[in-house]
């Protein structure tokens, strides 16, 4: 849900001959905020709305999520990113055919810095993710039953659900509007790595390379930012 709607709005703005072509940054940031809203709303009763490995790892580090469940969640998040990226390609397939800009095509799957300075990009991704995860820590977590983990009956405090999807979407909107102009604010390893892998594997016409030299930044940066948020949250207990 997150990647289909989020990368879908990017494709609508960047690809040739779409109704939203050249819609601009405000359209993209609004679309991504709505994508997060939809993803959180749809998944909160099943998983506590864990859509982001950086959030899951931070919650586990802070003792709010069982480490036993983390690997399965991370795998599901990456697979969801691959599925969403694939669906966007199939949906906009004819527009990929008539678009000539290989960089724009790749941008419909994954992020890239506007100025290629990897340490700075890493810093931006870490700070952006910190400013996503720390507010999430301040929100009310949902209690979801996971077999074999947590307390009596498998209950574990794991996430975002009980407060609702709107606050998280608004935080993402704020990050996009204020801080997204440097790297495209991946702030989510699965949102970038999964669709980037889809870009590499799918028969996207004239797609160019998948920029694996940059791919570590939107994975490592968000994880570091999330863990820093967990550290600050722990220090404030």
CATH number of the domain encompassing residue 85:
1.20.1080.10
Separation between Cα atoms, residue 172 and residue 187, nearest integer Å? 9
Give the structural domain span for 133: 2-99+116-235
pLDDT digits (tens, 9 = 90+) for 169-205: 999 999 999 999 999 999 999 999 999 999 999 999 9
* pLDDT confidence of residue 44: 87
Taking Cα atoms as reference points, which of 84, 83, 52, 79 lies closest to residue 65? 52
State yes or no: pLDDT of 128 exceeds 50.
yes
Q: Where is pLDDT greater, at 113 or 145?
A: 113
Query: Residue 190 contacts by C-beta under 8 Å, 6 or more apart in sequence?
Result: 51, 52, 53, 74, 77, 78, 80, 81
Does the residue 183 lie in any domain? yes
Does the residue 110 lie in any domain? no
Residue 42 tokens, joined: 């749809």
pLDDT digits (tens, 9 = 90+) for 7-57: 999 999 999 999 999 999 999 999 999 999 999 999 988 888 899 999 999
Does the residue 223 lie in any domain? yes
Q: What is the largest CA-CA distance in the chain?
A: 57
Q: What's the structural domain count of the chain? A: 1
Residue 69 tokens, joined: 């469940």
Separation between Cα atoms, residue 73 and residue 53, nearest integer Å? 8
What's the helix, strand, coil split of the chain in %, to 5?
Answer: 65, 5, 30
Does the residue 86 lie in any domain? yes
Residues 30 and 119 sit within 8 Å (Cβ to Cβ): no
Does the residue 87 lie in any domain? yes
Does the residue 211 lie in any domain? yes
Residue 65 tokens, joined: 């999520």
Does the residue 108 lie in any domain? no
**Band (165; pLDDT cuts 50, 70, 90):** confident
Taking the alpha carbons at both ends of the chain, their separation in whole angstroms is 34
Taking Cα atoms as reference points, which of 218, 204, 190, 181 lies closest to residue 11? 204
Separation between Cα atoms, residue 135 and residue 129, nearest integer Å? 10
State yes or no: pLDDT of 217 exceeds 70.
yes
Residue 8 backbone zone (phi > 0: left; psi -120 to 50: alpha; other: beta): alpha
Does the residue 105 lie in any domain? no
* pLDDT confidence of residue 158: 46
């Amino acid at each position: 849900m997150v990647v289909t709607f989020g990368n879908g709005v990017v494709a609508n703005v960047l690809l040739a001959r779409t109704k939203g072509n050249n819609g601009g940054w405000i359209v993209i940031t609004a679309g991504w905020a709505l994508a997060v809203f939809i993803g959180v709303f749809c998944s909160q009763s099943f998983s506590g709305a864990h859509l982001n490995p950086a959030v899951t790892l931070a919650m586990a580090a802070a003792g709010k999520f069982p480490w036993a469940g983390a690997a399965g969640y991370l795998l599901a998040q990456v697979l969801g990113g691959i599925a969403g990226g694939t669906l966007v390609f199939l949906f906009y397939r004819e527009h990929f055919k008539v678009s000539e800009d290989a960089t724009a095509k790749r941008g419909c799957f994954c992020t890239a810095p506007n100025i290629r300075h990897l340490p700075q990009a890493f810093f931006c991704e870490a700070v952006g993710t910190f400013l996503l995860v720390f507010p999430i820590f301040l929100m009310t977590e949902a209690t979801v039953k996971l077999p074999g983990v947590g307390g009596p009956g498998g209950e574990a405090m794991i996430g975002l659900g009980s407060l609702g999807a709107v606050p998280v979407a608004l935080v993402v909107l704020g990050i996009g509007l204020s801080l997204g102009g440097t790297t495209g604010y991946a702030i989510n390893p699965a949102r970038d790595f999964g669709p980037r892998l889809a870009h590499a594997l799918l028969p996207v016409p004239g797609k160019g390379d998948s920029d694996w030299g940059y791919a570590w930044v939107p994975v490592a940066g968000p994880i570091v930012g999330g863990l820093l948020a967990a550290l600050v949250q722990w220090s404030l207990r």
